[in-house]
Structure 1
Amino acid sequence: MNVQAAAADKRVVLGKVGRVHGIKGWLKLNSYTSPPANILSYAELHTELDKAPRLLHIDDSREQQKGLIVHFEGFNDPETASSLTGCEIWVPSTDMPALAAGSFYWHELQGLQVTNLQGQLFGSVQRLIETGANDVLVVAPTAESCDARERLIPFLPERVIVEVSLQERRITVDWDADYLS
């Protein structure tokens, strides 16, 4: 399968539906987007309800001090709306806005192999951490890794990150295998 076809099949989870809010079918929405209100910009959201795909449309929303509340079209009472509680909300990766060259969504980096300039394989990106100063790759060892250490590698393009190749599913870093050992 080519990269474009794989991207078309990939789901990007944007949030999770919380509990019912009020008597008119409103729900709390835990957004994973940054900023959280970005989830509201998608015309169509996807979920699974009773193991069947379901398309959702937000017909109203409000930002509150403790987060977002939304109303989905067709879910007009607490009983109906409660069926969505706990459901993940996602979009196909092809629906994500295009980024500038050299920028990446976190979901694109997860699973990529990480090697250093000496060709040593450190493992694969399990997740990223937002620290405020810069994002950090959490690299977990694989069976082929040079050792069994988990590494935290700062995502600093041109200083630490030498190359990101989505096609080759690889990130090359300027990072010594013995750093912080």
Structure 2
Amino acid sequence: MLTVLESTGLPADAIEVGRILDAWGVKGWLKVLPHSTQPEALLTAKTWFLQAPDAKFRPGFSAFKGTVRVSVDESKTHSDSVVSKLASMDDRNDAEALRGCRIFLPRSSFPAATTDEYYWVDLIGLNVVNREGIVLGCVRDLMTTGPHSVLCVESQMTQEDGQEVATERMIPFVAAYVDTVDLPGKLITVDWQPDY
């Protein structure tokens, strides 16, 4: 059982891109929940790195320990998920054994983004300043609202009693508000005021 798994280490630039939901069909295919609404990296990868599911999600997982590398024969979108076929996995039982596994890919294997397109993972951690040079905080997360993404920018604010508290700003990630994204400089410049 599960002869397609090869024990390995996780690449230094590994990013979690999805999770195996369950078996799909009877021929060893997997149903995958991607962590992105545009899962190009997951769809094009020919090698995945798997780690066991969180114990609270699937207690008693025993298919493997540590990190394993698997070869992917085919991946395609299906409704709101991705379905994938691993090399040499032709049995539904083997696919079910991987339910809940976390899927990682090296960041270096992602397809190149086009001009003015960015992977969310590259934006997280960037500092955000406005046109006047006022620091608004650091990107902690992004969320999608349908028509566009929103930067979740965290900063520290001093209260009247002198205590520091974390605050969060939501800045639409659209050209009307975002002037520049400098990935090497780890800086996003926006047309946004501190009191918005």
Common topology (TM > 0.5): yes
Counterparts in 2 of 1:67-82, with a 5 A limit? 67-82=81-96
> Which structure has greater helix proportion?
1
Q: CA RMSD in A?
A: 2.8
Deviations 1:104-133 (A, max 9, x none): 111100111112223322221121122233
1:149 aligns with 2:152: no
Q: Which residues of structure 1 form unaligned runs of 5+?
A: 1-7
Q: TM-score, normalised by structure 2?
A: 0.71
User: How high is the sequence identity, in percent, across the aligned residues?
Assistant: 31
Q: Which residues of structure 2 form unaligned runs of 5+?
A: 1-10, 53-63, 159-163
1:45 deviates by 1.7
Q: State the match for 2:97 in structure 1.
A: 83
Counterparts in 2 of 1:25-174, with a 5 A limit? 25-36=28-39, 39-49=42-52, 50-61=64-75, 64-65=78-79, 67-142=81-156, 148-157=166-175, 159-174=176-191
Asked whether the 8 Å contact 2:44–2:75 carries over to 1, the reply is: no
In structure 2, how many angstroms separate the alpha carbons of the residues matched to 1:37 and 1:92? 13
Deviations 1:43-76 (A, max 9, x none): 2222225443322222345654464333322434
Asked whether the 8 Å contact 1:122–1:147 carries over to 2, the reply is: no
Q: Which has the higher contact order (CA 8 A, sep 6+)?
A: 2
Which shifted more, 118-127 or 48-57? 48-57
Which shifted more, 89-98 or 47-56? 47-56
Asked whether the 8 Å contact 1:28–1:69 carries over to 2, the reply is: yes
1:176 deviates by 0.7
Asked whether the 8 Å contact 1:124–1:142 carries over to 2, the reply is: no
In structure 2, how many angstroms separate the alpha carbons of the residues matched to 1:17 and 1:51? 16
1:87 deviates by 1.4
Instruction: Give the direction of change, closer, same or farther, for the CA distance of 1:37–1:143 in structure 2 (3 Å limit).
Output: same
1:70 is paired with a residue whose SS is strand
Q: How many residues align?
A: 170
Ranges of 4+ aligned residues in structure 1 off by more than 6 Å = none
1:140 is paired with a residue whose SS is strand
Asked whether the 8 Å contact 1:162–1:174 carries over to 2, the reply is: yes
In structure 2, how many angstroms separate the alpha carbons of the residues matched to 1:52 and 1:14? 18
